[in-house]
Amino acid sequence: MLDREPSAIRDLNLGWMDLIWLVFLGGLALLPPRYEIHKQLILLAILVVQLLEGWVIERLPERGPAYSVLIKILLATLLLDHTGEIGINSSYFPIYFLPVVTAAIYFGTLGAMAWTTIASLAYLSLLFPALQEEVDMTPEGMGILAIRVLFFYIAAILVNRFAVENRRQVQRLEDLSSKLEETNRQLGRAEADARRAERLAALGQLSAGLAHEIRNPLGVIKGSADMLSHKVAQSEPLVAELAGYISSEVNRLNALVVRFLDFARPSKLELRPERISEIVDRALDAAVASFPNTSVKIERRYTSNLPNVPADAQFCEQVFVNLITNAFQSMQMQEPSFEKILRLSIAPESLNGESGVGVIVEDTGPGVPLELREQIFNPFFTSKKEGVGLGLSIVAKIVDDHRGRIRLEENIPRGARFHVFFPTAGQ
């Protein structure tokens, strides 16, 4: 069985900077006192801490920096204690810049100053053996110590200023990246809306032409069937029954033609300031009346003090009757064990800098497959056994005529979630 490299080592991602650390700390190990084994072991420990620092901080983002700085202070103190008769006079004292700079990189200004103070106190603690041996400290020597400590603080301030500015720039770039992502999402939705509007316009013209061409022959067929039914009602009951079938089917086709015309005809909106919450409630009552025995639980989440929006109440009510009815129908397809919930949420929103009111209609039904979400607003597209696929197309047309937006959003863990936006500004 082959030996595998430990995962901690594989995750280090050692690079050329780490090789530079190895070279310089190796150089310190070779300088006098060259054969001091304690010095070389401490330098090796410092190298290991430095190489493992990124790995530790990645796994302990809150405590890892503090552990790294503290260990480096302890190792620096041990190094000075083993490289000089009086540790504070050791020529290796610049090793304290390592924990000072590390603290300046990972902490804020106050944190960097606090850790620099701890490192300075650890360095000055090496005075205690000299004081116990009653070694006289000259004013010149005290001045040198003060200069060294001040340089610790100067290094911490300079590095911390750079690190804080770097973090600020990184945060600014992340914010800019988030804004660009949101802008790209909005652009994608705008392109989808534009494509849908083009399809609706083209199919609307086609539907209008076909509806007018079909309507006239239907009138002739219905009139002929009614006349035939009256003429032979007594003498030929079978013929009369067949004529009745023709008349009823013509009525059904005529209703379909009316829907075509509703889809194709420009909407003549009568805009007035309306409360969307009242329109949604009326639509909910109308939809519930069509499903008297439903077991759907209804949840309302309306924000108080909603602004009025310029809307045609009749057309907007048609929008929400359609959406709520679709929600009821989809949840009827679920197994009885599934909890059936209809959630209606209304709150102020802002879309592309425009203020308005957003309405969310979501259910816990089977939802819309991902591959069909782009098509559900297309005319004549339907997943139902009965229906011609004009309901959501008409809904989208009405919302567009109000200068609003409608989109199907992802609903977790299941169900459909329609988001409708109406601007508060008048046309």
pLDDT of residue 8: 44
Q: Which two tokens stand for residue 326?
A: 């679709």
In the numeric block, the tokens 């008409």 are attached to 394
Q: Nearest CA to 367 among 325, 426, 408?
A: 408
Average pLDDT over residues 20-40: 77
Res 7: pLDDT: 46
Higher pLDDT, 137 or 299: 299
DSSP 8-state code for residue 389: S
pTM score over 0.75: no
In whole angstroms, give the CA distance from residue 328 to residue 326.
5
- The mean pLDDT of 224-236, rounded to a whole number, is 75
Alpha-carbon distance 307 to 424, whole Å? 7
Q: Side by side, which strands form the sheet with 417-423?
A: 297-302, 341-351, 354-363, 417-423, 405-409
pLDDT higher than threshold 70 for residue 15: no
- The Cα 280–Cα 320 span in angstroms is 6
pLDDT value of position 156:
93
For the ranges 26-35, 174-183, 418-427, the maximum mean pLDDT occurs at 174-183
What DSSP letter does each residue of 35-74 carry, written as one string? T-HHHHHHHHHHHHHHHHHHHHHHH-TTTHHHHHHHHHHH
Q: Residue 41 in contact with residue 28, Cβ under 8 Å?
A: no
Is residue 29 scored above 80 in pLDDT? Answer: no
Residue spans per domain, the chain: 7-137, 193-264, 272-423
- Which pLDDT band holds residue 339 (cuts at 50, 70, 90)? confident
Q: Which fold does the domain 193-264 belong to in CATH?
A: Helix Hairpins (1.10.287)
* Residues in Cβ contact with 311 at an 8 Å cutoff, skipping those fewer than 6 apart: 271, 272, 274, 276, 279, 402, 422
Q: Largest alpha-carbon pair distance within the chain?
A: 139
* Closest among 362, 356, 370, 363 to 399, alpha carbons compared: 356
Asked whether the predicted pLDDT for residue 5 surpasses 50, the reply is no
Instruction: Give pLDDT tens digits for 141-183.
Output: 888 889 999 999 999 999 999 999 998 999 999 999 988 888 8
d(CA 185, CA 156): 43
Over residues 307-311, the mean pLDDT reads: 92
pLDDT of residue 401: 86
Task: State residue 185 phi and psi, 5-degree precision.
Answer: -65, -45
* Residue whose token pair is 């359609």: 322
3-state secondary structure of 341: strand
pLDDT at 3: 43
Question: Range with the lowest mean pLDDT among 19-28, 39-48, 57-66?
Answer: 19-28
Tokens for 415, please give them. 């169900």
Measure the CA angle with vertex 411, ends 408 and 415; round to 5°.
90
DSSP state of 86: S
Q: Are 402 and 311 in contact (CB under 8 A)?
A: yes
d(CA 316, CA 320): 7
Amino acid at 300: R
Q: What is the pLDDT of residues 44-96, one digit of tens each?
A: 898 889 888 888 888 998 999 999 999 999 999 999 888 876 778 888 899 99
Tokens of 368: 């819309």
DSSP class of residue 209 equals H
Strand partners, 2: none
CATH of 272-423, one of 3.30.479.30, 1.10.630.10, 3.30.565.10, 3.40.50.920: 3.30.565.10
Check residues 421 and 211 and name the one with the higher pLDDT. 421
Contact 395, 357 (CB under 8 A): no
Q: Select, from the ranges 24-38, 57-71, 240-254, the one with the highest average predicted confidence (pLDDT).
A: 57-71
First to last CA, the chain: 76
Question: What pLDDT is attached to residue 10?
Answer: 44
Sign of the dihedral through C-alpha 133, 135, 141, 142: positive
